[in-house]
């Protein structure tokens, strides 16, 4: 049986996940959750997401970057030319597979995913990158939720499975 394929993202109420190549919010609790969740596992992500995540190759993570830039294959960082090749490589490695963005990578992998780990930001936020629509698919069922807030944002850590 192949390892679970999970998508992990922080998503605003209007599905925004990014603006100008960066997260449009700073939520330390979300970053801690993300780093803890993905530690020791395989992280599949696009080149821009990789460039904005300096700790991608730390804490036992095995990053697979979807790019043609072979210069990124340093240390334990692997590269793949496309999503199918990245997932094929990820399935040869131990542990869970976490897809960590960006928009195009999420769009291609959502139909294959068995689990979503979402930090739902309870606000509409301006942005130019979006998480694909998942709420219309009745097969997704919520299996865990933890509500939280900081001085600027209300948000919920939600796990959905199908």
Q: Model confidence over 25-53: pLDDT tens digits?
A: 999 999 999 999 999 999 999 999 999 98
Query: Hunting for tokens 């394929």 — which residue is that?
Result: 5
Alpha helices in the chain (DSSP H): 28-38, 47-51, 83-90, 103-109
Q: What is the pLDDT of residue 54?
A: 83
CA nearest to 56, candidates 99, 115, 109, 2? 99
Q: How far apart are CA 93 and CA 44, in angstroms?
A: 12
Q: What is the pLDDT of residue 82?
A: 98
- pTM, entire model: 0.95
Token pair in block for residue 151: 């001085």
- Residue 114: per-residue pLDDT: 97
**Residue pLDDT, tens place only, 97-152:** 999 999 999 999 999 999 999 999 999 999 999 999 999 999 999 999 999 999 99
The answer to whether residue 1 scores a pLDDT higher than 80 is no
Task: Locate 106 and state its tokens.
Answer: 């999420």
């Amino acid at each position: 049986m192949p390892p679970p394929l999970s998508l992990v993202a922080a998503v605003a109420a209007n599905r925004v996940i990014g603006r100008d190549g960066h997260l449009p919010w700073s939520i330390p609790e979300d970053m801690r959750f993300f780093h803890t969740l993905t530690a020791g596992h395989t992280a599949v992500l696009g080149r821009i997401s990789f460039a904005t995540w300096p700790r991608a190759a730390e804490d036992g993570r095995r990053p697979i970057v979807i790019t043609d830039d072979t210069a990124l294959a340093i240390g334990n960082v692997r590269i793949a030319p496309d999503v199918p090749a990245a997932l094929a490589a990820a399935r040869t490695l131990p542990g869970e597979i976490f897809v960590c963005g960006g928009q195009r990578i999420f769009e291609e992998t959502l139909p294959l995913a068995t689990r979503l780990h979402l930090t739902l930001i309870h606000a509409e936020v301006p942005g130019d990158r979006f998480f694909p629509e998942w709420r219309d698919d009745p097969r997704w069922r919520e299996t865990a939720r933890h509500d939280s807030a900081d001085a600027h944002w209300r948000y919920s850590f939600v796990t959905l499975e199908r």
